[in-house]
Structure 1
Amino acid sequence: MPSSKQCHAFTTDDALGLDDAVALRVRLQRGEVSALELTEAAIARAEQVNATLNAIVLPTYDAARRNAEQSHSGAFAGIPTFIKDNTDMQGLPTRQGSLAVGSHPAKKDSAFTTHFLSTGMNVLGKSNLPEFGFNASTEFKSRPATPNPWHLDYSAGASSGGSAALVAAGVVPIAHANDGGGSIRIPAAACGLIGLKPTRGRFIDGEAAAILPVNIVSEGVVTRSVRDTAEFMHAMEQHYRGKKMSPVGHVTGPENKRMRIGLVLDSITGQATDAATRETVEATARVLEGLGHSVELIKLPIRESFADDFSQYWGMLSYLLSTFGHKLLGADFDKAQTDNLTQGLAQYYRKNMWRTPMMLWGMKRVANDYAEIFRNCDVLLSPVLSHTTPKLGHLSPVQSFESLFERLRNYVSFTPLNNAAGTPALSMPMGRTAEGLPIAVQLSGARGEERRLLALAFELEAAQPFHHLGLYTG
């Protein structure tokens, strides 16, 4: 049973058990369980924990039951999942985590949804996110937050916080996530999951991301095992893959080649990494050295102005949504219902709008600067975040924009670089705080190098297994 500060639904008494998606697939293929049994187990678990976790904004259980009774193809056929509520699914509203957005149903699946569903997964509903995915914690101005299943006083991260909470709590083994500044990796780090942000263009883009002047958004999943993430990447490539990069292929374990690891401990903003996070990253470096890899402390050749460029771009997205919300999000869009973060970001951009040409130049240039790193190393090892997971309230949009903005810039100082550069990065749990919360490290690679990151993640997972909540004993 979970402690009073934890919330999970893991049990060995239902069809899901303690298994990851790959293990469930094997059991489905052997006829030991049915897709309907998995669906019913996931629904029961969702109903058990969602009143506490607030991770599901729109359940579609009856449709999932009907879907489970039909025959489907795909690597994850019959595996229950959730899709994030910033992604269109025919017949369902896409509320973007915001009270400002109406509840009109989407007329069709987004192109990415079609790609995602090609894996055969069975969607049980839509998962929660902070308003427009702008925050790094799934908190709101006037409704309950999504807390961390590991400790309910703490944040589950964001913006894919609902998906991460559902996977960490054992409701489903895998769930959709997307990442425009760390939104796969941050909640994965907070909730003790694997979160891989793919290379830009690896999968079909969402319609909104495809029209951005610099596409910073990548689609993916959060999982409890490296192999689930690797199998997802392989499954998605059976439907579509970016033509300008080598395929990830079917990664099933470590590579024999020893790698040159560049170690980064502090971000380019000058924000010092806290002691617990730094120790976790340094301990991971020692594990890698023990496995025969070479590790060298390096300084990123990235201009400090990048942080300001990304903040300005972040503000520009809020400004565009706030200004053109009626066209982008529906005629019933109500800007007055947006929260302090959305409004503050838009105002921040308006004050600095004159910097737009220089900001866009800086955002585009960073890809070339980042590529230089990999002349002398194969993979970067760094923190995901500059400090451990904060308590709920620390990143609440109820507080003033100025306070929240400073806290976000100090917290989220490692992840945005890969979004601007369009390169892959993977969050992996490698430690715990004194309160028992996960601490993660980030593995980052050159463009198109997901295969290398997954191979290294397999090796770390074997060397230092991280037990999920169903197996964690404190």
Structure 2
Amino acid sequence: MNLPMSWDEWADHDGVALAARVAKGELTAAELAAQAAAGIAKVDPALSAVVEIFEDAVTDPGTDGTNLDGPFAGLPFLMKDLGPTMKGRLQEMGSLYMRGNRATADTFMTTKMRGAGLNLIGRTTTPEFGVCSSAENPAVYVTRNPWNTDYTTCGSSAGSAAMVAAGAVPIAHATDGGGSIRIPAGVNGNIGLKVSRGVFSLSPLLSDLSGLVSIQGCQSRTVRDTAAFVDACRGPAPGEFMPFWSSPEPYTRMIMRDPGRLKIALSYKWGDYQATPQIAAELQKVGRFLEGLGHHVDYALPDLDYREAFAAQTTCYISNFAIVIGNMLAARGLMQPPADLIEPVNVRIWEAGRHMSFADRARMQAVFNTTSRGFGAFFEDWDIILTPITALPTPKVGTTEYLTISDNPSVLDWFGNLWRNFAFTPLANLCGIPAISLPLATHEHGLPLGIQAIGKQANDGLLLQLAAQIERAIGGKWNAGEKPGVHVTNG
């Protein structure tokens, strides 16, 4: 097949650069789609990250109402198989139970993405219903880390993270209900922004009240791609339940300026959960680097009841996922989850959460409130909190204790174990505040380690400004300029 670019050239372009070339007439959207499809075919056998390619969207990027005059000019884009639906396309959510589930309409966010000129060319892997930390159930698929295929990509935006890291596409769709954009970005060497609540719409399936912790977003390799995605896709659908944040200027313009001198708080211990000494040392190294950029850096932590906050977060997940699973069962007239089609921990979550009372949820909301106020008070004195993305090294494939195929009989113990590794991401979802993972550090086993910057509500632009300042300071060489072993430029 004659492709328009060499793989080195393809990997050197971000999405904004590719769109600019299409706008200038140097390339066509169809050529980009063909190159992306070839890139996926090249790396996916080793990674198992793509569920399906939409051949019609590859052949004709204008299909499905993609606005080829939008800012992304027909850029090929992979959709996580969870969240926004695409009319007429399958959405199976990593579940045997949802096999053959076909969407009848585009959701609002899908319309925004198509309007931005993103050509939705396929679906990427996710754990069942997005619940656990890796897309890893041998009955469905096992998604592997492009840096070392013995390790997981984590999740739940597993396949999207792997495809961006492997260079198949520059940017891909992701969602985040407790770290599901930032964690896979962190362990695959990508950039992953969880925006503030009230930036991307969940319409029409959820309101921002019922979808309290869930956020849409993307995986990318450059700050400007993430900024351009937010600029193009943000905003409310008609009838939103809550106000939406707007930005005084587009983020793509804001990131061209460095932020002022920031007060940055380092933290690697949140309540009962703390990072390994090696990860804490990597965080400290990044802190020194930021001091070198002129920022004030010190150790500090919001004054919170962390134990209470994580308990409330767990209540939220159990009750939310129980409702999700319950609705899926009701749609098929079933009274309980079929054990051969739904993974064991998800069955236990349904059992634990299906009778949760309004009083339980009200207590949870009260803790969400005090936790959010605690972060709010902290951000009166500090601009940013910096943490590692994970507290422990990336798990190897087959580490079932974190997976929903685990045989752990206790849902609470299962979640507690999850927090031991993934404590630093979920409270940003609970509070609705923005957080970004940047590929700035390395695990002891040589895989990427993301460093997370958390900001106050609606300060998404500041996080992107800091990320862009760092990107300029390192000459654009995230991951110290290294590429993963499985990559379109190899072989």
Query: Which residue of the partner structure matches residue 419 of structure 1?
Result: 429
Structure 1 counterpart of 2:298, which letter? E
Pairwise CA RMSD: 2.6
Confirm or deny that 1:72 pairs with 2:68.
yes
TM-score of the aligned structures, taking structure 1 as reference length? 0.90
Deviations 1:291-336 (A, max 9, x none): 1100121122221211111111111122212333234x65589821
Confirm or deny that 1:380 pairs with 2:385.
yes
- Structure 1 residue ranges without an equivalent (≥5): 1-10
Structural mapping, 1:286-305, within 5 Å: 286-304=288-306, 305=308
Confirm or deny that 1:42 pairs with 2:36.
yes
Query: Which residue of the partner structure matches residue 196 of structure 2?
Result: 199
For residue 445 of structure 1, the aligned residue among 455, 479, 482 is: 455
Quick one: distance in 2 between partners of 1:384 and 1:78? 32
Q: Secondary structure at the match of 2:274?
A: coil
Structure 2 counterpart of 1:55, which letter? A
Deviations 1:64-119 (A, max 9, x none): 31125887121111211111111210001221111112423211101111112221
Structural mapping, 1:299-314, within 5 Å: 299-304=301-306, 305-314=308-317
Structure 2 counterpart of 1:397, which letter? T
Paired residues of 1:14 and 1:41 also in contact (CA < 8 A):
no
Cα drift, residue 212 of structure 1: 4.8
Cα drift, residue 154 of structure 1: 0.6
Q: Structure 1 residues 176, 71: closer, same or farther in 2, change over 3 A?
A: closer
Cα drift, residue 49 of structure 1: 2.1
Cα drift, residue 352 of structure 1: 7.1
Structural mapping, 1:255-266, within 5 Å: 255-266=258-269
Quick one: distance in 1 between partners of 2:329 and 2:9? 45
Quick one: distance in 2 between partners of 1:195 and 1:275? 24
Structure 1 counterpart of 2:81, which letter? D
Structural mapping, 1:80-99, within 5 Å: 80-86=76-82, 87-99=84-96
Quick one: distance in 2 between partners of 1:238 and 1:204? 7
Deviations 1:388-421 (A, max 9, x none): 2111122333322347434312111111111011
For residue 18 of structure 1, the aligned residue among 4, 12, 21 is: 12
Query: Which residue of the partner structure matches residue 109 of structure 2?
Result: 112
Deviations 1:19-64 (A, max 9, x none): 1112212222333222111111111111122222221112202233
Q: Structure 1 residues 19, 76: closer, same or farther in 2, change over 3 A?
A: same
Quick one: distance in 2 between partners of 1:88 and 1:276? 41
For residue 319 of structure 2, the aligned residue among 316, 320, 323 is: 316
For residue 276 of structure 1, the aligned residue among 275, 278, 288 is: 278
Cα drift, residue 256 of structure 1: 4.7
Paired residues of 1:340 and 1:400 also in contact (CA < 8 A):
yes
Structural mapping, 1:431-442, within 5 Å: 431-442=441-452
For residue 190 of structure 1, the aligned residue among 184, 187, 190 is: 187
Query: Which residue of the partner structure matches residue 141 of structure 2?
Result: 144
Quick one: distance in 1 between partners of 2:334 and 2:145? 32
Structure 1 counterpart of 2:406, which letter? Q
Q: Structure 1 residues 218, 68: closer, same or farther in 2, change over 3 A?
A: same
Q: Structure 1 residues 24, 330: closer, same or farther in 2, change over 3 A?
A: farther
Number of residues of Structure 1 aligned to a counterpart in Structure 2: 461
Deviates more, 1:245-254 or 1:172-181: 245-254
Q: Structure 1 residues 436, 471: closer, same or farther in 2, change over 3 A?
A: farther
Quick one: distance in 1 between partners of 2:352 and 2:47? 32
Deviations 1:360-413 (A, max 9, x none): 321243222221111101111111111221111223333223474343121111
Q: Structure 1 residues 237, 399: closer, same or farther in 2, change over 3 A?
A: closer
Q: Secondary structure at the match of 1:99?
A: coil
Structure 1 counterpart of 2:407, which letter? S
Q: Structure 1 residues 423, 193: closer, same or farther in 2, change over 3 A?
A: same
Deviates more, 1:331-340 or 1:276-285: 331-340
Deviations 1:2-27 (A, max 9, x none): xxxxxxxxx83487343111221222
Query: Which residue of the partner structure matches residue 153 of structure 1?
Result: 150
Q: Structure 1 residues 324, 256: closer, same or farther in 2, change over 3 A?
A: closer
Structure 2 counterpart of 1:384, which letter? I
Cα drift, residue 266 of structure 1: 1.1
Query: Which residue of the partner structure matches residue 458 of structure 1?
Result: 468
Query: Which residue of the partner structure matches residue 404 of structure 2?
Result: 397
